[in-house]
Structure 1
Amino acid sequence: MSRIIFCTYLQRDAEGQDFQLYPGELGKRIYNEISKEASKMWMVKQTMLINEKKLNMTNPEDRKVLEQAMINFLFEGKEVHTKGYTPPEA
């Protein structure tokens, strides 16, 4: 049986994560407030950021950059932008 939460990103009830995907207090907040659907949307943005900015996940500073982008995207409603990227037209 799936867990239904109020997703703060989507601003509606949606299926929650099956388990905590991220460590610490931020991970608990994501587990409690971010749906599977919103998490998948973030994963697309995360992949784009890692590739476009050539982030190295073994570098603590790059992980901080990515974590801040995740907070901005999921909780503050800020779009993720990379230099030179133009999203496809709908």
Structure 2
Amino acid sequence: MPRMVQCVKIGRELPGLEKPPFPGDLGQRIYDNISAEAYALWQPHMTILINHYGLNPADPDTRRILREQMEEFFFGEDARLPEGWIPPDAAPDKGAPRKK
């Protein structure tokens, strides 16, 4: 049975990560408070940041910026997803059918 966490990003109890995503305080904080589903949302967001700003992930300054952005993404003032949020690839469970 997977380890459950009260996810601060999605706002409900969900399966957590198997291990901290990286060493240090932020990695442990993510492990303790972020679900695997919410963590998966970070990757495309990080890709957007890298592409939009032309960042080089090998650069130490870029890694610092991305960690700051990651902390804001998961724990910032507006980090929580709207209530009732449904992942884009999830099938609708009620309401009118989606337009084709």
User: Computing the radius of gyration over CA atoms, which structure comes out larger, 1 or 2?
Assistant: 2
Tell me, what secondary structure is at the counterpart of 1:68?
Answer: helix
Structure 1 segments unaligned to the other structure (5+ residues): 79-90
8 Å Cα contact 1:22/1:30 also seen in 2: no
Tell me, what secondary structure is at the counterpart of 2:55?
Answer: coil
Runs of at least 4 residues off by over 4 Å: none
Higher normalized helix content (fraction of residues): 1
Query: In 1, Cα distance between the equivalents of 2:35 and 2:44?
Result: 15
Q: Where does residue 35 of structure 2 map in the other structure?
A: 35
CA-based RMSD of the aligned residues comes to 1.5
TM-score after normalising by structure 1: 0.80
CA-CA distance at 1:19 after TM superposition: 1.1
CA-CA distance at 1:71 after TM superposition: 0.7
TM-score after normalising by structure 2: 0.73
Number of residue pairs matched by the alignment = 79
Percent identity reads: 37
Structure 2 segments unaligned to the other structure (5+ residues): 80-100
